Structure 1
Amino acid sequence: MYFKSFFDENLAQMSYMVGCQRTGEALVIDPARDATPYLETAEKEGFTITKAAETHIHADFLSGARELANSNQVELLVSGEGGEDWSYQYLDETKHQLLKDNDQFYVGNIRMDVMHTPGHTPESISFLLTDEGGGSEVPMGIFTGDFVFVGDVGRPDLLEKAAGEEGTSAEGAKQMFASLKRFKQLGDYVQVWPGHGAGSACGKSLGAVPSSTVGYEKLNNWALQFDEEEAFTEQLLDGQPEPPKYFAMMKKLNKQGPSLEKDRDMKQLTPEALEAYKTDDYVILDTRSKEEFKEGHLPGTINISYDKSLPNWAGWIIGYDQSIVLISRMDQVSDVKKMLESIGLDDVIAYVDAGEIEKQSSLETYQNISPRELEAQYREHEDYVIVDVRNQNEWNEGHIQGAERILLGELQENLDQIPTGKTPIVHCQSGKRSAIAASVLQANGFKDVLNLTGGFSAYQKEYQPVTP
């Protein structure tokens, strides 16, 4: 048997390839949008990818299953559980199989047993792997998707919070409790291969290691310590962070079928040409570092630095009805485009060499201030307002007296919460999110915005925060 895991650090997403070396067949589980790593691995190892399986309709990344099926004649194996509202809508164009609880399928001599494991979503399924070709009669491991993680379980509130499906949080928590009962009955030796690692918004306390065992999770995973459904449900739903705004769109696109037309040409523009794109139909995304952006940027541009958090914040801030023009280093343009495509932001139409921006004369800047400057110069000044862009859980643990909380991902829709005529002093926990917020505020007319250096972490080292 051949086994390989793939980790997208930008989305903390795990996918897997399983191959039967006797028959040369391979299966990909929960493929990411970019199928290149799977195809390259298959060619290198002498496999033909014949099947692609999904544990559920994903909300946090755009699936590559449809593209694998259409481009490479791969059979799709997807959930037939959950009812019509949780069914894939593009399957008629593909060779596919709808899987139900207790179904089996094979990849060469490797057997996969299907478990319906609702809770995170109604259609969620898991796959138990038994290497019959290697002579085993017991399962080696289970692909859990967003059902069980290392140290956590999938959150059941996304359908309600992100997709607007009222009442599904409580029902999902009950289903999760029942699914975990089945999980506990598996052998302690069974390995656990989850769909995400630390950093994913699909749980609230995911572990950093990539895999585990059923026995280890039974001993250490908080969610497997409950015998009473009510107590479990209360704990599971408590403290879940706000889901990224783009999750609702991911659910919709993965259900309807991701676009197969993402590979479009981009044109290179001059900085002067960007003036024509400063309308609501476009967003000009500057991916330079926050330090570079602060020192000089074109008016009307949004700054999300080129790093692993770029897809997440782009999904929060950029509208799916907007076309995107990039300002990026030339050697980063292709990677940025792939990052955006991983969450379905496909309409990247043009780019500008970031090096050309720094040569311009009419650039905007914004100022950083320290916690001491905040307290000494701005605290009691009626012309300023402190804007905290952290999430609710962070706020509840402590915040600056008198601050207004506006979640970064919802800032553009809530600018009216900033009193007219006041200059915002923006901060987050460490300074990364507030730099994005500063760019959003400047692009929306708050030209004199100030950014708190080091964020709340730096502030609370010197001053006493407020707690509820």
Structure 2
Amino acid sequence: MLIERIYDEDLAQASYLIGCQANGTAVVVDGRRDIAVYQQLAEKNGMKIVAVTETHIHADYLSGTRELAAATGATIYLSGEGGPDWQYGFDGKRLYHGDKFSIGNITVQAVHTPGHTPEHLSFLVTDGAFSDQPGYLLSGDFVFSGDLGRPDLLDEAAGGVDTRFEGAKQLFASLRDKFLTLPDYVQVHPAHGAGSACGKALGAIPSSTVGYERLFAWWGPYLAANDEQGFINELLDGQPDAHAYFGRMKRENREGPAIMGDRTPLPELAIGTVAAGLAEDTLTFIDTRHSSEVHEGSVARSLNVPAGKSVASYGAWVVNPGTDKNPLVLLAQDQKTAQDMWDHLVRVGIDNVAGYVTSIEGLPTFTPKLIEPRELDEFDPAMVVDIRNKTEHTAGHIPNSYQLSGGRLMWRLDELPAEGAIVTYCQSGVRNSVAASALRRAGYDVVELDGSYVAWTAWQQARQSVSSS
């Protein structure tokens, strides 16, 4: 048997290819939409992808289940659990608790583990060539290394009202009646790692075991004492802000993400063509440089989505495909870099990319407004906005600042003043540049705090040092 973990650092998301080496067949679990990685992995190991499935209706990325099935002819398996409100809107074989399907010598058994979502399945995997007992659990967003999937996302991102409490109770029951009944040796392979917003304290270790989690995870003592209320209180306390785009992911994943098919490589666009499109507002420019370069001058009304490991995350903060209909133009050093960024964007449903340019020369530019921390006391903005997470804000913030995390900002503009300057900050400035670019494009007078909270803290310390000397 082959188990390969495919990890996306951008979204801290893990998918899996499980293959039977005896007959050359494989299943992909929780795949993403840029599917070449799975096809190449299968080909490398002489396997054909014959099945695709997912643990639940995801909120943080757009599922590649339909994309893979369309490309390979694989059979789709989907959860049939959760009741009528949590049924998928596209075709696939429905799995219920205890149902099994086989890939050569490998058996995959569905285990209904509600809590994170009502329909959530985990998958017990048995290598029939080695044992008649399961040795692996693909736990999805149920159990992570050292943590659990949060039960409040339906409230935070999908329009639910107080579903978190029932979800927390379901998680407690799923742990007690499903997870902890498994042998300690069963290996646990979760769908997320450190940095994911699907939990609050995910470990960076890629896998664990039932026994290790039983002994050392934070929730172990609550289960051992059968303390359901204590478990619920601890689970719900301190969960990070959920990104607003999660609601869109939930809807699209339930209905069935659009199938892209073969994508034509992104073309390099003529500067004149891009300039005309920007003038007519029929194109949206994505400045992919670091905030330090953007602050020296950027394309007018552009969005800052820094190249690197967070393209999908930041892209989903500032681009809403449901309302932003302009094709995107990426700033990239070459075609390969542009294509990689596009791969990241399609993971969150941002498909409409026209092409790329390698320079901003010849395009209309402007210089973002910045303010030094020492100038803030004398400035009179309409609002100071902290775009960090609420947990960061609680740990320390600029007095009288208003917390509105970057992942929610563009969906909650009604909380911002319609007139007057808005000063924005994050921890060091990168997230702030992303959020500020979106506000500027929306017509707000934005002034970025240079160096953000780190610089402001240093200025306060320096001022106190001078005052006490």
In 1, the alpha carbon distance for the partners of 2:87 and 2:192 equals: 22
* Aligned residue in 2 for 1:238: 237
In 2, the alpha carbon distance for the partners of 1:151 and 1:278 equals: 51
* Aligned residue in 1 for 2:316: 315
1:438 partner letter:
A
Does 2:13 align with 1:20?
no
2:426 partner letter:
C
User: Once the two structures are superposed, what CA deviation does each residue of 1:287-316 show, in whole Å capped at 9, x if it has no partner?
Assistant: 122222211112111111012112112112
Q: 1:272 to 1:28 in 2, by over 3 A?
A: closer
2:218 partner letter:
W
Q: CA deviation at 1:174?
A: 0.7
2:320 partner letter:
G
In 1, the alpha carbon distance for the partners of 2:214 and 2:85 equals: 32
In 2, the alpha carbon distance for the partners of 1:278 and 1:171 equals: 51
Q: CA deviation at 1:359?
A: 4.9
In 2, the alpha carbon distance for the partners of 1:431 and 1:119 equals: 36
Q: What SS class does the counterpart of residue 59 from structure 1 fall into?
A: coil
* Aligned residue in 1 for 2:466: none
In 1, the alpha carbon distance for the partners of 2:418 and 2:181 equals: 60
Q: CA deviation at 1:363?
A: 2.0
* Aligned residue in 1 for 2:368: 366
Q: What SS class does the counterpart of residue 222 from structure 1 fall into?
A: coil
Does 2:113 align with 1:109?
no
Which of 166, 172, 180 is equivalent to 1:171?
166
Which of 389, 392, 405 is equivalent to 2:390?
392
Q: Is the Cα–Cα contact under 8 Å of residues 110 and 131 in structure 1 kept in the other structure?
A: yes
User: Once the two structures are superposed, what CA deviation does each residue of 1:168-207 show, in whole Å capped at 9, x if it has no partner?
Assistant: 2111111000001121121111110000111111111100
Q: What SS class does the counterpart of residue 56 from structure 1 fall into?
A: coil
In 1, the alpha carbon distance for the partners of 2:104 and 2:97 equals: 21
TM value normalised by structure 2: 0.90
In 1, the alpha carbon distance for the partners of 2:396 and 2:276 equals: 42
| 1:332-371 equivalences in 2 (<5 Å) | 332-348=337-353, 350-355=354-359, 357-360=360-363, 362-369=364-371
In 1, the alpha carbon distance for the partners of 2:390 and 2:70 equals: 42
Q: Is the Cα–Cα contact under 8 Å of residues 58 and 254 in structure 1 kept in the other structure?
A: yes
Q: CA deviation at 1:457?
A: 3.1
Q: CA deviation at 1:137?
A: 3.0
* Aligned residue in 1 for 2:194: 198
Q: CA deviation at 1:383?
A: 5.1
Q: CA deviation at 1:138?
A: 2.6
**53-62 vs 280-289, which moves further:** 280-289
Q: Is the Cα–Cα contact under 8 Å of residues 137 and 187 in structure 2 kept in the other structure?
A: yes
* Aligned residue in 1 for 2:260: 261
Q: Is the Cα–Cα contact under 8 Å of residues 428 and 434 in structure 1 kept in the other structure?
A: yes
Does 2:156 align with 1:158?
no
* Aligned residue in 2 for 1:69: 69
Does 2:407 align with 1:409?
yes
Q: Percent identity?
A: 41
Does 2:382 align with 1:380?
no
* Aligned residue in 2 for 1:429: 427
2:312 partner letter:
P
In 2, the alpha carbon distance for the partners of 1:144 and 1:424 equals: 43
* Aligned residue in 1 for 2:464: none
* Aligned residue in 1 for 2:93: 97
1:351 partner letter:
G
Structure 1 unmatched ranges of 5 or more: none
In 1, the alpha carbon distance for the partners of 2:53 and 2:416 equals: 47
Q: CA deviation at 1:431?
A: 1.4
In 2, the alpha carbon distance for the partners of 1:86 and 1:156 equals: 15
Q: 1:113 to 1:122 in 2, by over 3 A?
A: same
Q: CA deviation at 1:387?
A: 2.4
Which of 452, 457, 462 is equivalent to 2:454?
457
In 1, the alpha carbon distance for the partners of 2:253 and 2:84 equals: 15
2:313 partner letter:
N
* Aligned residue in 1 for 2:175: 180
**293-302 vs 145-154, which moves further:** 293-302
Q: Is the Cα–Cα contact under 8 Å of residues 52 and 65 in structure 2 kept in the other structure?
A: yes
Q: Is the Cα–Cα contact under 8 Å of residues 378 and 384 in structure 1 kept in the other structure?
A: no
Q: 1:101 to 1:441 in 2, by over 3 A?
A: closer
2:366 partner letter:
E
**99-108 vs 398-407, which moves further:** 398-407
Does 2:329 align with 1:326?
yes
* Aligned residue in 2 for 1:119: 115
**422-431 vs 201-210, which moves further:** 422-431
Question: How many aligned residue pairs are there?
Answer: 451
In 2, the alpha carbon distance for the partners of 1:302 and 1:287 equals: 8
In 1, the alpha carbon distance for the partners of 2:313 and 2:24 equals: 37
Structure 2 unmatched ranges of 5 or more: 462-469
Q: Is the Cα–Cα contact under 8 Å of residues 29 and 54 in structure 2 kept in the other structure?
A: yes
User: Once the two structures are superposed, what CA deviation does each residue of 1:92-118 show, in whole Å capped at 9, x if it has no partner?
Assistant: xxxx42111112222111122221100
Q: Is the Cα–Cα contact under 8 Å of residues 269 and 351 in structure 1 kept in the other structure?
A: no
| 1:278-317 equivalences in 2 (<5 Å) | 283-317=284-318
Q: Is the Cα–Cα contact under 8 Å of residues 425 and 452 in structure 1 kept in the other structure?
A: no
